[in-house]
Structure 1
Amino acid sequence: MSNHIILTTGIYDAIKDTLRRKKVSQPEEKRLAEELRKAKQVLRRELPDDVVTVDRKVTLKDHTRNFEHEYIFVATAKAKPAKNKYSILSDIALATVGYKVGDMIQWPFQDGERTIEILKVEAWEG
């Protein structure tokens, strides 16, 4: 597992703003603040292809609930959950953003702690 997440400055700032607006639960806020303190910020072109970020199709395995699901993470304005397009600031995106393929993440979701594994990350052209 990575000991720090890798984010573009834009995503870093968007997460900071989400925390400032208190849009997440207390345990998520604590965890995100901790993640951001250790985060490595890079330019978009320097972000590795296997890192979860905006405009990527991500396959996750939820080990707690024992299922796999593919998500497309997009800018908040383009989010359409019915079409499998989730905001980069949605719960599942915030839990995985900045992590890479192979990482296992323990995350304090609002419905309880879950273990998520990142199986695949692909570029997505909307």
Structure 2
Amino acid sequence: MNTTSVIHDIKPIILTTGLYDLLKDHLRTHKLSKYNEEKLTLELRAAQQVLMRDLPPNVVTVNKKVRIKLLSTGEEQVYNFVGTTNAKRKNNTTSILTPVGIATIGHSEGAELDWEMPDGITTIRIEEVSDL
């Protein structure tokens, strides 16, 4: 698959160095679809790495509550993103390494992005990011 044919506009994402390294390691496991792997690779190449204290408050990262909208259906979903070891269904928390976590991490409120889900490529808009 030609990356330029599926990825039309990569905007730099903002990540802490720890999350940047975590995503690089996740790429090495080859658990993503070809489309998502190519998209994440391009996002990481353009990523801005910052210290946690310099991360803008409206950027998706761990310990954030994120409300997204699936633009194809208008459905809204809310996720409480945490690190992989802290994700527990009973606490209503989701690992940042779930497909939707990887898709949105580093993006800020208002961002629209395409990500391949099990039923095809979906356009997601990040509606709100707040602290847990």
TM-score by length of 1: 0.92
Q: Unpaired segments of 5 or more residues in structure 2?
A: 1-8
* Paired letter, 1:93: G
What is the CA distance between 1:2 and its match in structure 2? Answer: 7.6
1:119 is the counterpart of 2:124: no
The 8 Å contact of residues 80 and 86 in structure 1, kept in 2 or not, is answered as yes
Report whether the alignment pairs 1:80 with 2:84.
no
Which amino acid in structure 2 is aligned with residue 50 of structure 1? Answer: N
**C-alpha distance in 2 between matches for 1:100 and 1:12:** 16
Structure 2 vs 1, CA of residues 79 and 40 (structure 1 numbering), >3 Å: closer, same or farther?
same
Please say if residues 10 and 42 of structure 2, whose CA atoms lie closer than 8 Å, have aligned partners that are also in contact: no
Q: Deviations over 1:36-82 (max 9, x none)?
A: 00000000000000000000000001112320011001000111245
Task: Say whether 1:61 aligns with 2:69.
Answer: yes
**In structure 1, C-alpha distance between the alignment counterparts of 2:75 and 2:89, rounded to whole Å:** 18
Pairs aligned (count):
124
In 2, Cα distance between the equivalents of 1:38 and 1:26?
19
3-state SS of 1:108 partner: strand
Residue equivalent to 1:50 = 58
Q: Which moved more, 1:77-86 or 1:22-31?
A: 77-86
Q: Calculate percent identity across the aligned residue pairs.
A: 44
Q: Which of structures 1 and 2 has the bigger CA Rg?
A: 2
Alpha carbons 2:109, 2:129 under 8 Å: kept: yes
Pick 1 or 2: higher relative contact order, CA cutoff 8 A, min separation 6.
Answer: 1
- Residue 12 (structure 1) aligns with: 20
Please provide the CA RMSD for this pair: 1.5
Give the letter for the 2:116 counterpart: P
